[in-house]
Each structure stands twice: as C-alpha cells, then as structure tokens.
Amino acid sequence: MKKISKILISLFYISIFTFIVFGCDSIRSLLVSKLGAAEDYKPETDPKKLVAEFSSKDASREKIKIRLVEVAAGFAQPTDLQFPPKENEYFLVAEKQGKLKWGKVNSKLTGVLLTLNVISEGEEGLLGLAFHPDFAKNGKIYLNYTLKQGKKDISRIAEWTLSKPNDFPNAKAESERVIMEVEQPYPNHNAGQIAFGPDHLLYVGWGDGGWMADPRKNGQNPKTFLGSMLRINVDLPSEKLPYSIPKDNPFVGDSCCAPETFAYGLRNPWRYSFDPKGRLILADVGQDLWEEIDIIEKGKNYGWNTKEASHCFDPKEKCKSEGLTDPIYEYGREEGQSITGGYVYSSSKLSGLTNKYVFGDFITGRIWAISVPDDTNGTTKTAYALGKWPILISTFGKDHSGNVYVVDFASGRIYKIE
C-alpha cells in the first residue's frame, strides 16, 4: 500500500506540473504572483557593511574604486528614480506599492505627491516615471503602473500634471490623462520603463508578457506591443488615440507590425536610458543563462525568444540568426541573475568613470561599467569592476550634472556614486 501511495502521489504532482506548464494561464499567473517576487530577495552580503567586495571573476578586470554615499532614505521598495530636466537636488521616486514621492539630495525631506491604487503581485506595481522635456513649463509627468480591470491585469501609461512643477513640497498631482493600456497575461515581465528621447518622443519598452520562455511568442510578434520598444508622440493626440504615431517609425504602413513599434525581440527591459550621444541603451533581463545590454536602433529585432543574448534559446542549437541583432555586452549566471540598466556617467568628478555606461545586477549587488561601442555591430568584452555591494539594485538615477545614483530596493536608500 505504501508503494501504491507513493506512486499515486508522484503521478498527482506530475499531472499538476504538466497542467501548469502546458495548461491553464490562471494557474501560471498564480504561481508567478506568489513565487520569486522582488521583495522575497535579500542582499547577499551584510547590509550593515557598505563596502565593496570583489570576486575571483574580477581578478582579471580593471577596477574603478568608488564609494556609495547615502544621499536620501525613507522610501519603500523603490522602483524608479528620476530627476527633472536641469535639476540636481529635487527628484521623484516611484514605489512598487503605488506611491509617488519627492525627495531632496542630502536632506531628510520627502513627501507623497500621489498614491495610486495598483496591483503589486509578482513584478507588478508602480514601475516607471518620466518627466516631460518641458516639465518646468507644463508640469507634466508620465507614470507606468499596473491595475486591475475586472479580472484583467492592465499596464497603464498615464500623464499627470503637477500644480507647482518648481515646488515639489507644495505641489499636487492632478488631472490624469490615460495614454496607453496593455493587458498583461501574467504578473511578471511587465518591464515598466518610460523615457523621452532627444526627439521629445516617448519611448515605451514592454516585456514579453511573462511566464517562462515566452509561451505566446510575443517577442517575435511585433503586431503586439508586448516584447517591443514603442515610440509615440504624446504632445499630438490623433483622432482615435491620445497620442500620434511618428511618420518615421520604421513599420508605419507595414501590416507586419504595430505602427507604434520602434524595435522588438525583447524579454523584459529593466531600465534603459539615452546617452549623451542620443543612443538608446537598454538592459534586457535573461531567463536561463545570460543577461544582456543592447543599443536599440530603429526597426531592429533583438532576438528573444529565438535567442537569449547572443546564444540560441529556441531551438538550443542552430537557431536562425539572420536578421537578429546581438547585444553589445552580456554576462552569465556566474556573475548575476537579473540585470538593472543604468546611465552613462558624464560628470568629470570620477575621471576613470566618465563616458562609461554604469549598470548593475539586482540579485548580486554587483556594479560594472563598460565603454559603449559606436553602434550595434560592435561589442565590448571588457567590463570594469565597481564592486559587489550589500544592496538590491532596483534602478539607477542621473542628475543634470551627470552624477549617477544607485537605488536599494531592500532598504529604500539612495546612494550617489563618488
């Protein structure tokens, strides 16, 4: 009887596993929402000792010695940090649970501008924010957050207006205007970044929609917004949409793709930014083995889920690489598990870091810097080691002077790289 019971139990679990992997989306979503959420992770080293460690992997690398200097605190599960144009002191922080807060560098002052009713299971929540290029005049900000509509999980891009754009402590966020909504099949790979380019257009990077291995093949389907980088004009609404589609978007008039599509083949772009040369540099979180950094260019396909970084994913060998753009840099699981994109450091205070792209890993707390090649045809094999830190790096920030900041999801502290 004991043997029969064990067999029955085994068959039960096998059937459940099969059902989950190949069957019901609602079961998959439940699993994702309960397992592997960001709040479940802890720093790998002692958070009380804010010092850099270097692994054996760093032995052959040139090191750039930095300090992380605390400049603000008091935030809960921060997901994004943005400075207004031409600002070095005041900033906004998005918190996963739905609060938008203001803060000031080297000050304990902070306050709540807005509280959104978000869903925050798995990788959902208030995930990204951007200032309009003319924020000082029009007070417009843009938020990316997830909410529940009936039984559906929806990602929303919305425009808000701050009543006093030059006075955060006394400002109020008013008059929400919904720009875009996208249904999310699972509560992971929501991405969340939004950013204005030098062309004053809004770039919206969506993940593939979630679960494992992109079961809906969204990465290679540019007819869907998921798994793509979109480019829209929020200042010029059209007859049918609260935005217009730039005429020079690469797929306008092509039935292959949504006209909003700028590039596609992404898995979960977790932070991207424009460098001083106007290049869009994006960090894409991998699944099994590789994390990657890409230069995103008009009309290009970045490979997911045919490839994970520069390596075949589906199929594992002899995948069709024609027309796919490989990353400029990648690293494997021996160094990290979840890349967080950053910024090109353009301050002159750390000469060894000037003009290098700074990025990190959420899980391991490692920070690196690379010299970015001129275009997507180039790659860089050299990464400078900036140390392994006892923090969960959820995002970076950059002020008007080119200084770069690191945000710790675990403690809610903000550090300046010095």
Structural domain includes residue 191: yes
Cβ 293 vs Cβ 330: under 8 Å: yes
For 37, 146, 273, the CA distances from 26, given in Å and listed in that order, are 17, 17, 34
Cβ 100 vs Cβ 143: under 8 Å: yes
Query: What pLDDT, on the 0 to 100 scale, is given for residue 56?
Result: 84
Query: What pLDDT, on the 0 to 100 scale, is given for residue 374?
Result: 86
Structural domain includes residue 62: yes
Task: Copy the structure tokens of residue 173.
Answer: 């966020």
SS3 278: coil
Cβ 325 vs Cβ 294: under 8 Å: yes
**Cα gap 256→236, rounded to integer Å:** 25
Structural domain includes residue 18: no
Which residues 6+ apart lie within 8 Å of 345 measured at CB? 353, 354, 355, 356, 357, 358, 369, 402, 403, 404, 417
Domain CATH for 95: 2.120.10.30
Please count the CA atoms within 13 angstroms of the CA of 386 that sit on its side-chain side. Answer: 23
Q: Please, is 371 exposed, middle or buried when counting C-beta atoms within 10 Å of its C-beta (0-12, 13-18, 19+)?
A: middle
> What is the radius of gyration, based on Cα positions, of the chain?
21
Three-state SS across 126-170?
EEEEEECCCHHHHCEEEEEEEEEECCEEEEEEEEEEECCCCCHHH
Query: What pLDDT, on the 0 to 100 scale, is given for residue 24?
Result: 61
What is the per-residue pLDDT across 115-171, written as a single tens digit (0 to 9) for each? 999 999 999 999 999 999 999 999 999 999 999 999 999 999 999 999 999 999 999
For 10, 23, 186, 348, the CA distances from 16, given in Å and listed in that order, are 10, 10, 19, 57
Cβ 116 vs Cβ 95: under 8 Å: no
Query: What pLDDT, on the 0 to 100 scale, is given for residue 29?
Result: 64
Task: Copy the structure tokens of residue 344.
Answer: 């090109």
SS3 16: helix
pLDDT < 50 regions, the chain: 1-9, 11-12, 14-15, 18-19
Which residues 6+ apart lie within 8 Å of 10 measured at CB? none
Structural domain includes residue 7: no
Total domains, the chain: 1
Output phi, psi for 247, to 5 deg.
-65, -25
Q: Which range of residues forms the domain containing residue 165?
A: 36-417
Query: What pLDDT, on the 0 to 100 scale, is given for residue 25?
Result: 66
Query: What pLDDT, on the 0 to 100 scale, is given for residue 204?
Result: 98
Structural domain includes residue 12: no
Structural domain includes residue 4: no
Structural domain includes residue 227: yes
Query: What pLDDT, on the 0 to 100 scale, is given for residue 30?
Result: 58
**Cα gap 55→243, rounded to integer Å:** 48
Nearest to 55 by CA among 300, 342, 366: 366
Three-state SS across 209-252?
CCCCCCCCCCCCCCCCCCCEEEEEECCCCCCCCCCECCCCCCCC
For 89, 158, 163, 412, 413, the CA distances from 168, given in Å and listed in that order, are 11, 19, 9, 20, 20
Task: Copy the structure tokens of residue 66.
Answer: 């930095």
**Sign of dihedral through CA atoms 302, 313, 193, 180?**
positive
Structural domain includes residue 20: no
**Cα gap 76→16, rounded to integer Å:** 36
Query: What pLDDT, on the 0 to 100 scale, is given for residue 28?
Result: 67
**Cα gap 266→220, rounded to integer Å:** 8
Which residue, chain included where needed, has tokens 């064990």? 6
Which residue, chain included where needed, has tokens 């459940």? 16
Element (H, E) at 82: strand 78-82
Which residue, chain included where needed, has tokens 């950053």? 342
Burial 306-343 (b: 16+ CB within 10 A, else e): bbbbbbebeeeeeeeeeebbbbbbbbeeebbebbbbbb
